[in-house]
Amino acid sequence: MKVALVGATGMVGQVMLQVLEERNFPLTKLLLVASERSVGKKIPYKEKEVEVISMEEALNHKPKYAFFSAGGDTSLEWAPKFAAMGTVVIDNSSAWRMDPTKKLVVPEINAKSIEPEDRIIANPNCSTIQLVMALAPLHKKFKVKRVVVSTYQSITGTGVKAVEQLENEYEGKKGDMVYPYPIHRNALPHCDVFEENGYTKEEMKLIRETKKILSDDSIAVTATAVRIPVVGGHSESVNVQFENDFDLQSVRRELHNFPGIQLQDNPDVNLYPMPIYAEGKNEVFVGRLRKDDSQPNTLNMWIVADNLRKGAATNAIQIAEYLLKKEDLEKNWKKIL
């Protein structure tokens, strides 16, 4: 089974390679794709070195799956070309997320919505993924009415140049500025570009994608996205109002039983989610659960996840794993019948 990884030299691409290896994804040939200046470069995978090839060469191989993590423009141009060859494209950019003809998938929530004819599948925004992972079981049980989310986002969400900016500032060196202000010892209420309504694109992704993934446009969502000088992952302070009343024991039970969530909620021993512990892990961590006494049926919680893993690479690979499992089940049923 041939698998293409487009954007192999980027931060998400490098994490995808790690996750593919860790999960022993059953590929037979790995096609690493990057920009023309990286063609010919060799990247280690499973104690071997794989040479980076061009987009055209990868397309000619007709891979079964193609993981795209090379930006929206690249996805808009090339994803349809791969899809036309029969490849299933799992795209990590924002290019297809709000396209009504494309599925926006978090496997634990809505993988069953994927149809055989879906050849381009969108991977949600990193902040959205961890938010809906915590909301989904609670929405099913208590029905979410309104969400107020404030994010504290890792610089890794911006890319390697943001990491370099932080390192330079920490060491007192001059260098390229990815952000309009220093990020070291600072917090920037500015993730992505500002839209006409005063919200940033990142904030609007949280608003729009949450409704699409949960298949409920009635949910009211408002967001403030903040960039902070951490590396391990994104954190979110979330205030959720439900249609129905709840008790904390039931909330803990629903979260504990939901696949992919790890509950860390014991303030008596200072147990709560933090990016320093989420880094390198695939789970979404939820804690600081408490009732909001200022209004009825409202919950406060704190959500943390590694944005390069479950927020990007791991989620994309889980989509492909789901499709492979579904394919195997269908083959076995045909043999039985």
Domain architecture of the chain: domains with CATH: 2-123+312-336 (3.40.50.720), 127-307 (3.30.360.10)
Q: What is the mean pLDDT of residues 159-163?
A: 95
- pLDDT, one tens digit per residue, over 269-306 is 999 999 999 999 999 999 999 999 999 999 999 999 99
Q: So what's the pLDDT on residue 331?
A: 80
**CA-based radius of gyration for the chain:** 20
Nearest CA to 53 out of 75, 70, 31, 68 is that of 31
DSSP, collapsed to helix, strand or coil, labels residue 153 as strand
- Would you list the DSSP string of 111-144? GGG--TT--EEEPPPHHHHHHHHHHHHHHHHH-E
Residue 337 pLDDT > 70, yes or no? no
Q: So what's the pLDDT on residue 336?
A: 75
Q: So what's the pLDDT on residue 72?
A: 95
Q: Are strands 48-53 and 42-45 parallel, antiparallel or unpaired?
A: antiparallel
Residue 258 pLDDT > 80, yes or no? yes
Provide the pLDDT confidence category of residue 334 given band limits of 50, 70 and 90.
Answer: confident
Provide the pLDDT confidence category of residue 335 given band limits of 50, 70 and 90.
Answer: confident
Nearest CA to 137 out of 297, 243, 247, 250 is that of 250
How many Cα atoms are found within 13 Å in the side-chain-facing hemisphere of 123? 30
- pLDDT, one tens digit per residue, over 296-313 is 999 999 999 999 999 999
Q: So what's the pLDDT on residue 112?
A: 96
Nearest CA to 2 out of 28, 20, 33 is that of 28
Residue 8 pLDDT > 80, yes or no? yes
DSSP state of 289: E
- pLDDT, one tens digit per residue, over 18-69 is 999 999 999 999 999 999 999 999 999 998 999 999 999 999 999 999 999 9
Q: So what's the pLDDT on residue 164?
A: 97
Nearest CA to 132 out of 73, 209, 70, 62 is that of 209
Q: So what's the pLDDT on residue 332?
A: 80
DSSP state of 231: S
- b or e along 276-296 (b: 16 or more beta carbons within 10 Å of the residue's beta carbon)? ebbbebbbbbbbbbeeeeeee
Q: So what's the pLDDT on residue 19?
A: 98
Percentage of residues in the chain having pLDDT higher than 90? 96
Residue 333 pLDDT > 70, yes or no? yes
DSSP state of 96: S
Percentage of residues in the chain having pLDDT higher than 70? 100
Give the residue carrying structure tokens 């349809």. Answer: 80
Query: In angstroms, rounded to a whole number, what is the distance separating the alpha carbons of residues 123 and 26?
Result: 21
Query: In angstroms, rounded to a whole number, what is the distance separating the alpha carbons of residues 134 and 317?
Result: 20
Give the residue carrying structure tokens 């040479």. Answer: 51
Query: Average pLDDT, whole number, for the chain?
Result: 97
| 11-22 vs 314-336: helix crossing angle, rounded to 10 | 40
Q: Which residue has the higher pLDDT, 333 or 212?
A: 212
Query: In angstroms, rounded to a whole number, what is the distance separating the alpha carbons of residues 304 and 279?
Result: 10
Q: What is the mean pLDDT of residues 85-113?
A: 98
Any idea which residues carry the catalytic annotation?
Answer: 126, 234
Full-model pTM? 0.96
Query: In angstroms, rounded to a whole number, what is the distance separating the alpha carbons of residues 231 and 262?
Result: 20
Residue 221 pLDDT > 70, yes or no? yes
- 33 within 8 A of 5, measured Cβ to Cβ: yes
